[in-house]
Amino acid sequence: QVQLVESGGGSVQAGGSLRLSCAASGDTYSIYSIYCMTWFRQAPGKGRERVATIETADGSTYYADSVNGRFTISQDNAVTTLHLQMNSLNPEDTAMYYCAASTKGFCRTGLTSLYNYWGQGTQVTVSS
């Protein structure tokens, strides 16, 4: 089993920046079975969408078009710490942000059904 705990959310004005972090813990086998780690977000009344993914094996990254060039996903210490640097935030980025991990692969797809482990989420609010 893997536990994911997010931190770093908050309120910021448009144009500002935030850095989210996700700490992963659990048994060694489960941790090193993770193929992808992803940040998803869900705004009120909308579905959960993939923001950014990183493949743990080689660091390949994938971004939603809406955040490409503004957000950067990174990982420390192999899979144990995940970050999302968010710059040039706008009100459309307001959402609950979730960290998720997948042992199933197919990282490029961003399908929520492929993710076994989820954090509780951290709220990001951007005011105009």
Q: DSSP secondary structure string, 5-50?
A: EEE--EEEETT--EEEEEEEEE-HHHHTT--EEEEEEE-TTS-EEE
- Spatial distance between the Cα atoms of 35 and 104, rounded to a whole number of angstroms: 7
Nearest to 87 by CA among 111, 58, 63, 110: 63
81-97 average pLDDT score: 97
Identify the weakest region by mean pLDDT among 15-29, 39-53, 73-87, 90-104: 73-87
What digits encode the pLDDT tens for the residues 70-85? Answer: 999 999 866 689 999 9
Please tell me the predicted confidence (pLDDT) of residue 76.
Answer: 86
